[in-house]
Amino acid sequence: MSLSAADFDQDGRLDVYVCAYAPSSFLEQSMNVLIAAEAENFVYHDANNGAQNHLFRNETTAKDGWRFRDVTKEIGLYENNRRWSLAASWEDFDNDGDQDLYVANDYGRNNLYRNDLDASGRRRFADVAATAGVEDSASGMSVSWSDYDQDGWMDIYVSNMYSSAGNRIAYQERFKADAPLDVKQRLQRFARGNTLLQ
């Protein structure tokens, strides 16, 4: 499980995105319910696969104290949300003034959720990883942002699993000799390691 905080709705309060990796009994039962920060028995791993990640909007007030509400479904982060996610990182990748979210997944492709205002002025996220060319289907362990090439646009660095044995095998001429080239390249990608996406 990992946490990543940002003020995605620009209300001056930090909101929290939770990568759960394996299902959490507590999170699964608390969809669309006000969550108190002092909640007990937070089970973050019960050895099941296919966890859902959650975005908790900070609705803290001086009167009511610490309050967070799960807004995952209502703002569009439920799309492609049954991944084995290990890390997420916020950054304004499209330079439009709001925080977007990249999620590194252990199995399957990664997600890049663009944060925009819809026609009614509400915040909505859309997974644009494919159109942005940043899916990176290796085994994602972590993610960070930096303007690596100093062109004014943030770049993504994804740490992935590396396998020297996998590299030796996957690049042999006889490996999957009858498979299409794109299949072989995808299998090679799983063993290669880290990725810099510009």
Instruction: Give 13-70 pLDDT, tens digit per residue.
Output: 999 999 987 665 555 555 444 444 444 433 333 223 567 899 999 999 999 899 999 9
Please state the domain count of the chain: 1
Which position has the higher pLDDT, 19 or 190? 19
Q: Structural domain of residue 73, as residue ranges?
A: 2-197
Task: Give burial (CB, 10 Å; 0-12/13-18/19+) of 102.
Answer: buried
Helix (H) or strand (E) holding 176: none
Q: How much of the chain, in percent, has pLDDT values that exceed 70?
A: 85
Residue of 55, 78, 40, 65 lying closest to 9 (CA atoms): 55
pLDDT, greater one: 195 or 49: 195
Distance linking the first and last C-alpha atoms of the chain: 27
d(CA 161, CA 194): 7
Q: Give the model's pLDDT for residue 59.
A: 96
105 pLDDT above the threshold of 70: yes
DSSP state at residue 136: -
Give the pLDDT confidence score for residue 46 in this predicted structure. Answer: 29
Q: Contact at 8 Å (CB) between 171 and 141? A: no
Total residue length of the chain? 198
pLDDT digits (tens, 9 = 90+) for 111-166: 999 999 999 999 999 999 999 999 887 888 999 999 999 999 999 999 988 888 87
Give the mean model confidence (pLDDT) for residues 94-98. 96
Report which DSSP code applies to 45: -
pTM of the predicted protein model: 0.80
